[in-house]
Amino acid sequence: MSGFGPAIMRWSAEQGRNLPWRRTRDPWSVLVSELMLQQTQVSRVVPKYHAFLDRFPTLADCAAAPQADVVKMWAGLGYNRRAVNLHRCARQVAADHDGRLPDELGALLDLPGIGPYTARAILAFAFEHDVAVVDTNVGRVLARRAGRRFAAREVQAAANELVPMGEGWAWNQALLDFGALLCTKKAPACDRCPAVAGCAWKGEGSDPAVGSAGVSGGQSKFEGSDRQGRGRLVDALRLGSVRTADLAVVMGWPADPARAERVAATLVTDGIATRSADTYHLTD
């Protein structure tokens, strides 16, 4: 990895993305952006991020609101469990941490909806700690640079070693951009890479990032899936209650009411919806 860091930092200074959550160190704003960005394109997140923070500018505002209001504001972002977890997280922080997100890894990992990546992202981007943030883009870059697949513990350790002292915020942003813009999954721009000389792969032969720890294998097909039906039902619930008898039509499976009821029940299990007699509505 010798020489890699300075090259990426120089490239980032010229080519890095200007994103709204990079113009703040507010832990709440950082948390909102990180949960929204999970498996959602940046272009879709930007307007939702602004709208959400207009409605819930502080963690306390979110904690005080009904869960249903948070889920309604999550429209268009998918994976509504994230909205529920964000609301639960806000309430737990309000109750246990005086309304302030902690700046310690273990305490963050104890909160609902915060896993290893999100916890480290908060530490790096809100508190400017020198910790390594490893998402699918970073995992892909590291595997290609090394020319081999990493195990889970290896990839975090390799990322940790690269963080320049006192530059955790800037370094992680640079590496995330590098993976998202140049060292991409399907069409890596090796001809424009500022550090190609030290890359073990250089776009030749089988990609060592495939199957490497931290690198996403891609999502399952959405069209016709249970996820699509769940999303349709939540969209309908944002407008009002839905009768059990109408589930199949609302969810797009008019000929399969049994499937509709089975999938609707998962929303209840996840705490997104509540069933009262023969009616479903968003959980307050």
Segment 179-236, tens digit of pLDDT: 999 999 999 999 999 999 899 999 999 999 999 988 987 666 878 889 999 999 999 9
What token pair was written down for 201? 């792969």
The last residue of one of the domains, among 105, 125, 145, is: 125
> So what's the pLDDT on residue 95?
97
> What per-residue confidence (pLDDT) applies to 219?
67
| φ, ψ (nearest 5 deg) of residue 151 | -80, 165
Domain-embedded: residue 181: no
CATH code for position 232: 1.10.10
| pLDDT tens, residue by residue, 34-57 | 999 998 899 999 999 999 999 999
What pLDDT, in 10s, does the model give residues 70-105? 999 999 998 999 999 999 999 999 999 999 999 999
The answer as to whether 206 is a domain residue is no
Which of 104, 125, 146 terminates a domain? The answer is 125
What's the pLDDT score for residue 216?
A: 81
**Residue 133: is its pLDDT beyond 80?**
yes
Provide the pLDDT for residue 214. Answer: 81
> Tell me, what CATH number does 49's domain have?
1.10.340.30
Mean pLDDT of the chain: 95
160 has pLDDT over 90: yes
233 closest CA partner among 200, 262, 201 = 262
Q: Is residue 21 included in any domain, yes or no?
A: no
> Residue 51 is part of which domain span?
26-125
Closest CA to 243 of 270, 272, 273, 223: 273
Residue 43, in any domain of the structure: yes
Active site (annotated) includes residue 34: yes
Please, which residues bridge with residue 280 across strands? 242, 275
Q: Which of 96, 125, 154 is the last residue of a domain?
A: 125
At residue 149 the predicted structure's pLDDT band, cuts being 50, 70 and 90, is: very high
In a domain, 71, yes or no: yes
Q: What is the pLDDT of residue 1?
A: 54
Q: Taking 60 as the threshold, does the pLDDT of residue 237 lie above it?
A: yes
Q: Residue 140 above 90 pLDDT?
A: yes
In a domain? residue 37: yes
pLDDT per residue as tens digits for the range 241-255: 999 999 999 999 999
- Does residue 49 belong to any structural domain of this protein? yes
Going by C-beta distance under 8 Å and a sequence separation of 6 or more, which residues neighbour residue 268?
A: 274, 275, 280
Alpha helices (H) along the chain: 4-15, 27-37, 42-55, 59-64, 67-73, 81-96, 105-109, 116-125, 136-146, 152-162, 168-181, 226-239, 247-250, 257-269
Q: Would you say residue 155 has pLDDT above 60?
A: yes
Annotated catalytic residue within 14, 34, 154, 261: 34
Residues written for the chain: 284
Residue 190 counted as domain residue:
no
Give the pLDDT confidence score for residue 2 in this predicted structure: 58
Say how many domains are in the chain.
2
